Amino acid sequence: MNHWMTWCILLVLTAEARPQATSRPVAPPPASQPSVAAAPAAPSRKERLLDAYRNTNQYTAEIYYQKIERRGRWRYTEETEFRIAYDRARGRLKIDRPNTLIVLDGMKLRMRSAQFKDSYLEIDAPRPLTYASLVKAVPILAVPELPDLMFLFDEDPQRRDPAITVNELDPDPDDPGKRPRLQFVSPRYNLVIHIEPKTSLISLAQVGFNPTLLGRPATDAIQMVHRINVVSHNVALKDDVFAFDVAGSTPVASLVELGRRHRLIGHPPPPIELPQLDGKPFKLGAVTTKVTVIHFWATWLPGHGRELAQLDRLVRWAETSSKSVTVVTVNLQETPDKIRSDLKKMKLTLPVLLASGDTVTTAYDAAHLPRTVIVAEGRVSAVLDSLDGNDAVLRTRIDRILGEQAGSKEQGSRTE
């Protein structure tokens, strides 16, 4: 028998051995035997973290903050300590930092700073009270300076920025507490937090920034470290924890008004001697116009283009109206190529000074951008946190300053 016949016989035998198909439908399982649902998946580390802060009703913590920057062969370190108290049920918050005190009592938000003379900010509490509304009211609270505050106010970084990815990391091999870690990664920064196993609260947060996106060489490094000691958790807080002493000072109703009482107001501006973008030296003392507008900025700052465009329009207005006004901008720690590319994209030709260190930044209190300082007749007339995009308001301010100067000189000549 050949192989072809053998295969035919095997196929026939196999077909006969199969059960005959029927047209009757398959009956469903009896009602007494319901299908078993799959067990719910265990919550992720991120979900446990968010739940831990959502279920935190009272919270006090001491925070040791360290900022470390490496610029070429130089290393710069900034250190400070502050305290946080939070009472969710009554909408109360206290942030006690060196030279700055912020208290939210559920009805009012108050802020006092050593930068301002005998005044404090007092505004209605943000409604609804969220992390975003709180940061808008007090910009110095912006992430990533206070990561635990961000989570206390139910701010999920991924919800704010879908480009962020989250990774669960093993404990650091050098960590004696073997705390699990969670990593939030975005193109701009890398946030790694160490979580206490029993409470799922943060005890250490490390933030590293991408220097190239800040216009810095890739060899530079920018890192912030927050060591968080949770003093009490879900323990009732006394009312005096949220005390705010107003003795000897008066309230103002906006950050703009508070800026008018800045410590620089009425004093000669700190000296500025910096190279310009074209390499030429610049000295503030050599400026002879009646008004000088000094604007501190960086390309990574959201909205910086809008304010630069407004200043560019101010320059053209001053030129066409024969106003004695000089506008200079100070870029903080970015490369000339990055700045030129940014200005070319926006078609702007504003003068730019290059501040590679922190001397001028500290002198003008420009660590938190943006910052605009108006100098009139050799003294600081205004310190602004924002230009608000309103050309008319800025021009009116300068016209008023020029008018006051003219009136003062006229009065002086009459007296003589």
Q: pLDDT by residue (tens digit) across 260-300? A: 778 888 889 999 999 999 899 999 999 999 999 999 998 87
Residue 341 pLDDT > 50: yes
Residue 232 pLDDT > 90: yes
For the entire predicted model, the pTM comes to 0.62
Structure tokens at 410: 């006229």
Strand partners, 64: 81, 227
Residues sharing a CB contact under 8 Å with residue 399, sequence separation 6 or more, in sequence order: 323
The CATH number of the structural domain formed by 45-254 is 2.50.20.10
The predicted pLDDT at position 252 comes to 87
The overall average pLDDT reported for the chain is 82
The predicted pLDDT at position 97 comes to 86
Residue 331, Ramachandran bin (φ over 0: left; ψ between -120 and 50: alpha; else beta) = beta
Percent share of the chain, pLDDT over 90: 44
Residue that is written with structure tokens 């008023």 in the block: 400
State the Cα–Cα distance between residues 351 and 341, nearest whole angstrom: 14
The predicted pLDDT at position 40 comes to 58
Residue 83 pLDDT > 90: yes
The mean pLDDT value for 318-322 works out to 93
- Exposed/middle/buried for 288, CB within 10 Å: 0-12, 13-18, 19+? exposed
The pLDDT confidence band at residue 187, using thresholds 50, 70 and 90, is confident
The mean pLDDT value for 313-330 works out to 94
The predicted pLDDT at position 209 comes to 83
Structure tokens at 328: 């200079």
Percent share of the chain, pLDDT over 70: 84
The predicted pLDDT at position 68 comes to 85
Residue 38 pLDDT > 60: no
Residues sharing a CB contact under 8 Å with residue 198, sequence separation 6 or more, in sequence order: none
What secondary structure does DSSP assign to 185-196, as a single string? Answer: E-SSEEEEEEE-
Least confident of 22-36, 154-168, 188-202, 325-339: 22-36
The mean pLDDT value for 195-219 works out to 85
The mean pLDDT value for 16-42 works out to 48
| Better pLDDT: 391 or 29 | 391
The predicted pLDDT at position 114 comes to 75
The mean pLDDT value for 249-255 works out to 85
Among 186, 230, 237, 224, residue whose Cα is nearest residue 52: 230
The predicted pLDDT at position 403 comes to 84
| Better pLDDT: 16 or 302 | 302
The predicted pLDDT at position 412 comes to 46
The predicted pLDDT at position 406 comes to 53
The mean pLDDT value for 41-56 works out to 90
First to last CA, the chain: 137
The mean pLDDT value for 359-387 works out to 86
Domain residue extents for the chain: 45-254, 262-415
Residue 143 pLDDT > 60: no
Least confident of 5-19, 140-154, 244-258: 5-19
Residue 47 pLDDT > 60: yes
The mean pLDDT value for 323-350 works out to 91
Helix (H, G, I), strand (E, B), or coil: what is residue 388? coil
Helix (H, G, I), strand (E, B), or coil: what is residue 55? coil
Fold of 262-415: Glutaredoxin (3.40.30)
